[in-house]
């Protein structure tokens, strides 16, 4: 029988709660987010594996939301306490989606994006690549972390950048990443990544509006500098 380590036995950077603390909730997978709600797994499965199985078996978040309380309780490893926590979290998400669209931030300039992310991202010790997803009125749908680590043209997979945008049916997105050195001057690799993403966005009908580089208290818009954009 294969050995399945408990979550506490995994390296800290692989534990969901620690990853959420260090990188923010947007960096976590669906199974990691569900694992935080479930807290513990079952014999032979750690909590992330249990979460993966539940999401796969019942059709993701929508499937779990549709299941009756008693049906969720009947899943191996669940019970009333875990089910109540899960159902409450899903209801919070549903109510957020129903919140008035006008309450979501509207982006009209690169400075608006910088204002959303500068405070947090200027102090990160690693490079983070995030996307700000926008609807047809340029209101923020979601801020999603795509990568943590070195950002260059060979490491960035275009499909990963657009996956969440297509899932959210976004009209446009803005790419944002930080330079831990503190200098926001775009590198040749930053320009190359931007060019690739702009071209892919044209094919996928998701407009890439800008790419911001955040440094220590400063930021640069590649669109304003004409770098990577035609």
Q: How far is CA 51 from CA 45, 75, 76, 90, in A?
A: 9, 11, 11, 14
What does pTM read for this prediction? 0.58
Query: For residue range 33-75, what is the model confidence (pLDDT) as tens digits?
Result: 999 999 888 888 888 899 999 999 998 888 888 888 999 999 9
| Domain-embedded: residue 90 | yes
**208 shares a domain with 117:** yes
Instruction: Find the domain containing 138 and state its range.
Output: 103-225
| Domain-embedded: residue 153 | yes
Query: For residue range 116-140, what is the model confidence (pLDDT) as tens digits?
Result: 888 778 878 888 999 999 999 999 9
**37 shares a domain with 113:** no
Alpha-carbon gap, residue 209 to 12, rounded angstroms: 36
Pair 220, 213: CB distance under 8 Å: yes
Name the strand (E) or helix (H) holding 51.
Answer: helix 47-58
Selection from 205, 140, 204, 202 nearest residue 176 by Cα = 140
**77 shares a domain with 37:** yes
**108 shares a domain with 93:** no
């Amino acid at each position: 029988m294969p050995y399945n380590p408990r979550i506490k036995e995994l390296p800290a950077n692989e534990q969901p709660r620690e990853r959420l603390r260090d990188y923010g909730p947007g960096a976590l997978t669906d199974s990691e987010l569900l694992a935080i709600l479930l807290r513990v797994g079952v014999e032979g499965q750690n909590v992330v594996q249990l979460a993966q199985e539940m999401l796969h078996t019942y059709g993701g978040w929508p499937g779990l939301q549709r299941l009756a309380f008693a049906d969720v309780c009947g899943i191996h490893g669940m019970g009333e306490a875990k089910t109540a926590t899960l159902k409450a979290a899903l209801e919070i998400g549903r109510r957020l989606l129903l919140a008035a669209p006008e309450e979501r931030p509207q982006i009209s300039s690169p400075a608006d994006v910088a204002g959303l992310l500068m405070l947090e991202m200027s102090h990160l010790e690693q490079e983070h690549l995030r996307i700000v997803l926008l609807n047809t009125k340029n209101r923020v749908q979601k801020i999603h972390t795509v990568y943590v680590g070195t950002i260059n043209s060979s490491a960035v997979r275009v499909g990963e950048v657009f996956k969440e945008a297509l899932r959210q049916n976004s009209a446009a997105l803005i790419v944002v990443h930080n330079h831990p050195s503190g200098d926001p001057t775009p590198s040749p690799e930053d320009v190359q990544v931007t060019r690739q993403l702009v071209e892919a966005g044209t094919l996928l009908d998701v407009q890439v509006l800008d790419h911001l580089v955040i440094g220590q208290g400063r930021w640069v818009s590649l669109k304003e500098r004409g770098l990577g954009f035609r």
